[in-house]
Structure 1
Amino acid sequence: MRLNYFKSKLFLKYIWSYLFILLIPLILMTIFIYESAVSNLRTEIEQSRLGQLTQTKVIIDGRMKELSEIASRVSYDTRLTPYRVHDPIYSGEAIQALDQYKATSSIIDEMFLYFHKDNKIYSSKGLSNIDVFAKSFSFQNWKKETLFRDLDQVKFPTMRPADMVSNSSQLQETKLAYLIPITPNSPTPHGTIMYLIKESELSNLIDSVLGTFQGMTYILDNNGQILVDNRQGEALTNAEAKSLFNNLTPGIHDRTLNGKAHSIVSVKSKNNGWTYVTIMPSSQFFSSVLHVRSFIIMLFVIVVIVGAAIALLLAKMQYQPISMLVEFAASKSNSKRPVDGSIVSGNELDRIWTTLQEYSSRIDLQEPFARNHFLSMLLKYGSAQSLTPELQEAFDLEFDCSHHFVMVIAWDEDIQNERAERQDMIHLLTQIEFPELAAHGYGVELSQLDQLGLIISFNLNNQMDEFSHVRQIVEAVRSNMLETFDIIPMIGVGTCYSSPDQLNQSFIEACSAFELRVSTGHGSVTYFEKLSYTPDHAFWIPNNTLMKLAQSLKQGSYDVAAQMIHSAIQSLRTSELSASLTRCISYDLLNTILKTSSEIGNHNLMQEMAPNLMYSNSLDELERSLLNLASQICDQVEQNNQKEEQSIIDQIVGYINEHYMDHTLSLETVAFEFGISLPMLVVRLRKRWDLISFNIFGKIEWKRLCTN
Structure 2
Amino acid sequence: MTVFIYQNAVANLRTEIEQSRLDQLTQAKVIVDGRIKELSEIASRISYDKRLTPYRVHDPIFSGEAIQSLDQYKSTSSIIDEILLYFHKDGKIYSSQGLYDLDVFAKAFNFQNWPKDKLFEDLNTVKFPSMRPEIASKTSTSMLQRMLAYLVPITPNNPTPHGTVMYLIKESELSDLIGSVLGNYQGLTYILDSAGHILVDNRQGEALSGSGAKSLIELPAGISERTINGKPHSVVSVKSDTNGWTYVTAMPSSQFFSSVLHVRSFMILLFCITVLVGAAAALLLARMQYRPISNLVEFAASSSGGERPQGAAAASGNELDRIRSALQAYSSRIDLQEPFARNHFLSMVLKYGNVQSLSPELQRTFELRFDRAHHFAAVIGSGANAGTPNEREERQELIQLLNQIEFPELHAIGYGVELPQLDQLALIVSFDSDGRQPAFDRLREIVEAVRASLLDVTEDIPSIGVGTCYGSPDQLNQSFIEACSAFEHRASVEPGSVTYFEKLSDAPNQADWIPGNALMKLSQSLKQGSFDVAAQIIESAMRNLHASRPSALLTRCICFDLLNTMLRTASELGLHGAAQDFAPAAIYGNSLDELERSFLTLASRICGQVEQNVQKEEQSLTDRISAYIDEHYADHSLSLESVAFTFSVSPSHVSRSFKEKIGLNFIQYIWQKRLEQVIVQLRTTSDPLKDIIMRVGYQDTPNFTRKFKKETGYTPGQYRKLFSENEQARHLSETDDE
Tell me the TM-score normalized by structure 1: 0.71
1:618 counterpart residue number: none
1:477 counterpart residue number: 454
Q: Which runs of 5+ in 1 are unaligned?
A: 1-28, 573-579, 615-624, 702-708
Aligned-partner Cα distance in 2 for 1:657–1:356:
29
2:239 is the counterpart of 1:273: no
Match of residue 444, structure 1, among 417, 438, 450: 417
Q: Secondary structure at the match of 2:180?
A: coil
The correspondence of residues 11-410 of structure 1 with structure 2, limited to 5 A, is 29=1, 31-77=3-49, 80-82=52-54, 98-125=70-97, 129-167=101-139, 172-242=144-214, 244-245=215-216, 247-297=218-268, 299-301=270-272, 303-304=274-275, 307-310=278-281, 312-313=283-284, 316-317=287-288, 319-321=290-292, 323-324=294-295, 327-328=298-299, 343-347=313-317, 355-356=326-327, 359-360=330-331, 362-364=333-335, 366-379=337-350, 380-381=352-353, 383=355, 391=362, 394-395=365-366, 406-410=377-381
AA matched with 1:193: V
Q: Larger deviation: 144-153 or 599-608? A: 599-608
Q: Secondary structure at the match of 2:160?
A: coil
The correspondence of residues 505-516 of structure 1 with structure 2, limited to 5 A, is 507=480, 510-511=483-484, 513-516=486-489
- Cα root mean square deviation, aligned: 5.5
Cα distance 1:331–1:581, how it changes in 2: closer, same or farther (>3 A)? closer
Q: Deviations over 1:573-627 (max 9, x none)?
A: xxxxxxx99889xxx999999966753449969978998779xxxxxxxxxx99x
Q: Secondary structure at the match of 2:80?
A: coil
Q: Which runs of 5+ in 2 are unaligned?
A: 568-577, 675-738
2:426 counterpart residue number: 453
Aligned-partner Cα distance in 2 for 1:691–1:211:
88
How many residues align? The count is 638
Q: Secondary structure at the match of 1:161?
A: strand
AA matched with 1:643: Q
2:612 counterpart residue number: 643
Instruction: Give, in angstroms, the shift of residue 522 of structure 1.
Output: 2.5
Q: Larger deviation: 329-338 or 446-455? A: 329-338
AA matched with 1:260: K
AA matched with 1:139: F
Instruction: Give, in angstroms, the shift of residue 491 of structure 1.
Output: 0.9
Indicate conservation of the 8 Å contact 1:102/1:110, yes or no.
Answer: yes
Q: Deviations over 1:37-94 (max 9, x none)?
A: 5544444433333332222222212222232333344445556555665667776765
Indicate conservation of the 8 Å contact 1:492/1:528, yes or no.
Answer: yes
AA matched with 1:346: S
Q: Secondary structure at the match of 1:207?
A: helix
Instruction: Give, in angstroms, the shift of residue 510 of structure 1.
Output: 3.5
Q: Secondary structure at the match of 2:127?
A: coil
Q: Secondary structure at the match of 1:150?
A: helix
Indicate conservation of the 8 Å contact 2:68/2:96, yes or no.
Answer: yes
Instruction: Give, in angstroms, the shift of residue 361 of structure 1.
Output: 5.3
Indicate conservation of the 8 Å contact 2:380/2:463, yes or no.
Answer: yes
Aligned-partner Cα distance in 1 for 2:241–2:512:
104
1:25 counterpart residue number: none
Instruction: Give, in angstroms, the shift of residue 684 of structure 1.
Output: 3.8
Aligned-partner Cα distance in 2 for 1:191–1:32:
64
Match of residue 525, structure 1, among 485, 498, 502: 498
The correspondence of residues 461-610 of structure 1 with structure 2, limited to 5 A, is 466=442, 467-468=444-445, 470-482=447-459, 487-494=460-467, 507=480, 510-511=483-484, 513-517=486-490, 519-528=492-501, 556=530, 599-601=565-567
Aligned-partner Cα distance in 2 for 1:283–1:695:
73
Aligned-partner Cα distance in 1 for 2:599–2:134:
120
Aligned-partner Cα distance in 2 for 1:189–1:443:
109
Q: Deviations over 1:300-337 (max 9, x none)?
A: 55555555555555555555555555555655666577
Q: Secondary structure at the match of 2:201?
A: strand
Q: Secondary structure at the match of 1:476?
A: helix
Instruction: Give, in angstroms, the shift of residue 229 of structure 1.
Output: 0.6
Aligned-partner Cα distance in 2 for 1:662–1:495:
46
Instruction: Give, in angstroms, the shift of residue 630 of structure 1.
Output: 11
AA matched with 2:127: K
2:699 counterpart residue number: none
Cα distance 1:40–1:72, how it changes in 2: closer, same or farther (>3 A)? same
AA matched with 2:497: S
2:649 counterpart residue number: 676
Aligned-partner Cα distance in 1 for 2:395–2:455:
14
Aligned-partner Cα distance in 2 for 1:172–1:541:
141
Indicate conservation of the 8 Å contact 1:264/1:279, yes or no.
Answer: yes
Q: Secondary structure at the match of 1:179?
A: strand
Aligned-partner Cα distance in 2 for 1:263–1:307:
38
Q: Deviations over 1:251-274 (max 9, x none)?
A: 444444444343333222222111
Aligned-partner Cα distance in 2 for 1:151–1:548:
132
Cα distance 1:275–1:541, how it changes in 2: closer, same or farther (>3 A)? farther
Aligned-partner Cα distance in 1 for 2:561–2:513:
16
AA matched with 1:407: A
1:622 counterpart residue number: none
Aligned-partner Cα distance in 2 for 1:111–1:595:
142
Q: Deviations over 1:182-234 (max 9, x none)?
A: 33333333333322222121111121222222222111111111111112122
Aligned-partner Cα distance in 1 for 2:386–2:482:
28
Aligned-partner Cα distance in 2 for 1:405–1:64:
102
Aligned-partner Cα distance in 2 for 1:591–1:108:
141
1:576 counterpart residue number: none
Cα distance 1:688–1:73, how it changes in 2: closer, same or farther (>3 A)? same
Aligned-partner Cα distance in 1 for 2:107–2:555:
142
Aligned-partner Cα distance in 2 for 1:170–1:591:
154
Indicate conservation of the 8 Å contact 1:135/1:167, yes or no.
Answer: no
Indicate conservation of the 8 Å contact 2:387/2:645, yes or no.
Answer: no
AA matched with 2:40: S
Q: Secondary structure at the match of 1:141?
A: coil
AA matched with 1:66: E
* Larger relative contact order (Cα-Cα within 8 Å, sequence gap ≥ 6): 1
Calculate percent identity across the aligned residue pairs.
53
Cα distance 1:108–1:452, how it changes in 2: closer, same or farther (>3 A)? same
Cα distance 1:376–1:71, how it changes in 2: closer, same or farther (>3 A)? farther
Indicate conservation of the 8 Å contact 2:188/2:201, yes or no.
Answer: yes
Cα distance 1:650–1:98, how it changes in 2: closer, same or farther (>3 A)? same
Q: Larger deviation: 112-121 or 87-96? A: 87-96
